[in-house]
Amino acid sequence: MGSLEHLMLSLTLNGSLRADGESFGDDTRGKDGGITSSIGPGGGSGGTVLLFVQTLVLGDSSIISAAGGQGGPSGGGGGGGGRVHFHWSNIPAGDEYVPLASVKGSIITGLVL
């Protein structure tokens, strides 16, 4: 729970930026590895990644993700996908095309598999 705020003009990412929901089994196993509940818990919903940037560059294997977690095998559903929102600031206007984003990685908002 909570948020971080960092104002920036440009973001270059060579790694991952994640707000993924927890999956069944992440926190539901006992010390011996056995399941501590038979209720069939569901996966957690993905969070929100909100970026206020002027330019964005994602490297080859980079990931921005707000995916929902997987549900349990006893009927728990998967968590809903979150939100990845880009708020572009100071977009130049004119006749010349200026790229704002260069993406070689992945942006994921669906279910974590």
Q: In sequence order, what are the residues at sequence separation of 6 or more whose Cβ sits closer than 8 angstroms to the Cβ of residue 42?
A: 24, 71, 72, 76, 77, 78, 79
For the stretch 19-76, pLDDT in tens is: 888 887 654 455 555 555 556 678 888 888 888 887 888 888 888 888 888 887 777 7
For the stretch 83-107, pLDDT in tens is: 888 877 667 677 777 777 777 767 6
For residue 11, the number of C-alpha atoms closer than 13 Å in the C-beta half-sphere is 23
pTM beyond 0.95, yes or no: no
Nearest to residue 53, comparing CAs of 84, 17, 98, 7? Answer: 7
